[in-house]
């Protein structure tokens, strides 16, 4: 074993070091570079409204937006709108993802299903989601049911596409290894296909989360009824309250960012040991 041990030193330390180096977080100075542009924009906005170059009601000051924000939070209006929107988004996301996992697995595993359903699904995919709005509003009204249906549709499409792709693109080399070791069909599915497809499945679910949040806003604009962040924006524009509109936009951005960051964090946890 002594013979084996002495070249491990040469053979192994490099990649192990490289792996550690790659996973080390970036230094703080580099991480904050992304904040430069928003801070500059904020400074410009603030200086423009301070110096009084623009006295138009179309441009409100940052301080005004800030106060509106505080007031919305304090009165509970923000929380009501946000919880209504998030409940909708998560319901639609959950339904769409569940349906997408089933349909995607069917298309990925069954050649028959792929031949029968594949072309229809690919055509369906090409139709803009918003084209379904009139139909949905006639069938399901303008309430929460219609919105959830729309969101589910938005979440369904990426999940189906990525799940079926992930299953179909499992490396034939690895399937052959399973054959060498006499894996049963069930073992191949559970031990090889699913783990191999998992990164692609995760990408599909991640996209579903993002799409369904974007679609939440679309649904609230187009199927106007009830409360939500989208309705807060509509109210703001109807009452000519730019501070409310801008505050709504900030909230939407923060929620989108949080969803994105949460999904990325989870992905990094789940696939920590895999090479990317």
Partner 1 sequence: MSELLSRAEKSIKRGIKQSIKRSVKQGIKQGAEESIKRSVEPDRANDLQIRHVSKNYAQPSGNLAVLEDIGLDVAAGEFVSVVGASGCGKSTLLRLIAGLGAEFDGTIRLDGQAVAGTSLARGIVFQEHRLFPWLNVEQNIGVALRNSGLDAAQKRRAIAEHIELVGLVGFEHAYAHQLSGGMAQRVGIARGLVNRPSVLLLDEPFGALDALTRSRLQGELQRIWAQERITMVLVTHDVEEAVFLGDRVVVMQPRPGRVKRVVDVPMARPRNRSDPEFIRIRDDVLREFAEPGGLVDAASSTTVPTSPRAWPPHADTVDSPITSWRLAW
Residues 6+ away with beta carbon under 8 Å from 122: none
Query: What does residue 142 show for φ and ψ, rounded to 5 degrees?
Result: -115, 5
Site mask, partner 1, residues 199-228, x = CB under 8 A?
A: ------------------------------
Q: Looking only at residues 244 through 273 of this chain, which bind partner 1 when binding is defined by CB under 8 A?
A: 273
Q: In sequence order, what DSSP letters do the residues of 193-252 get, joined into one string? A: IHHHHHHHHHHHHHHHHHHHHHHHHHHHHHS--S-SHHHHHHHHHHTT-HHHHHHHHHHH
Written as six digits, the tokens of 32 are 């904050």
By the rule CB under 8 A, 181 interacts with partner 1: yes
Given a contact cutoff of 8 angstroms between Cβ atoms, the answer to whether 183 and 67 are in contact is: no
Q: Could you tell me how many residues of this chain bind partner 1 (CB under 8 A)?
A: 32
What is the rounded CA–CA span in Å between residue 204 and residue 103?
13
Contacting partner 1 (CB under 8 A), which of 54, 75, 187, 239? 187
Q: How far is the CB of 176 from partner 1 (least distance, A)?
A: 6
By the rule CB under 8 A, 186 interacts with partner 1: no
CA angle 236, 241, 243 (to 5 degrees): 100
Contacting partner 1 (CB under 8 A), which of 9, 14, 128, 138? 14
Contacting partner 1 (CB under 8 A), which of 44, 177, 250, 258? 177
Q: How far is the CB of 110 from partner 1 (least distance, A)?
A: 23
By the rule CB under 8 A, 16 interacts with partner 1: yes
Interacting residues toward partner 1 by CB under 8 A: 1, 3-5, 7-8, 11-12, 14-16, 19, 173-174, 176-184, 187, 191-192, 195-196, 198, 273-275
């Amino acid at each position: 074993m002594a013979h084996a041990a002495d070249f491990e030193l040469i053979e192994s330390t490099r990649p192990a070091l490289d792996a550690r180096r790659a996973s080390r977080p970036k230094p703080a100075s580099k991480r904050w570079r992304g904040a430069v542009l928003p801070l500059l924009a904020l400074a410009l906005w603030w200086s423009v409204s301070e110096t009084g170059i623009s006295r138009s009601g179309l441009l409100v000051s940052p301080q005004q937006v800030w106060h509106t924000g505080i007031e919305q939070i304090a009165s509970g209006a923000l929380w009501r709108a946000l919880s209504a929107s998030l409940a909708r988004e998560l319901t639609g996301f959950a339904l769409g993802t569940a349906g997408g996992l089933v349909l995607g697995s069917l298309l990925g595993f069954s050649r028959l299903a792929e031949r029968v359903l594949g072309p229809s699904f690919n055509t369906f995919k090409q139709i803009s989601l918003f084209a379904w709005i009139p139909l949905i509003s006639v069938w399901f009204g303008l309430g929460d049911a219609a919105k959830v249906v729309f969101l589910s549709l938005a979440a369904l499409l990426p999940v189906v596409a990525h799940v079926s792709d992930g299953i179909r693109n499992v490396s034939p080399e690895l399937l052959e290894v399973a054959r060498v070791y006499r894996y049963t069909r069930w073992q191949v599915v559970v031990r090889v296909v699913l783990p191999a497809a998992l990164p692609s499945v995760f990408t599909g679910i991640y996209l579903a989360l993002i799409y369904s949040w974007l679609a939440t806003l679309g649904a609230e604009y187009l199927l106007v009824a009830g409360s939500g962040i989208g309705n807060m924006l509509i109210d703001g524009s109807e009452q000519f309250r730019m501070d409310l509109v801008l505050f709504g936009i900030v909230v939407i951005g923060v929620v989108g960012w949080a969803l994105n960051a949460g999904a990325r964090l989870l992905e990094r946890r789940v696939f920590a040991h895999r090479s990317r």
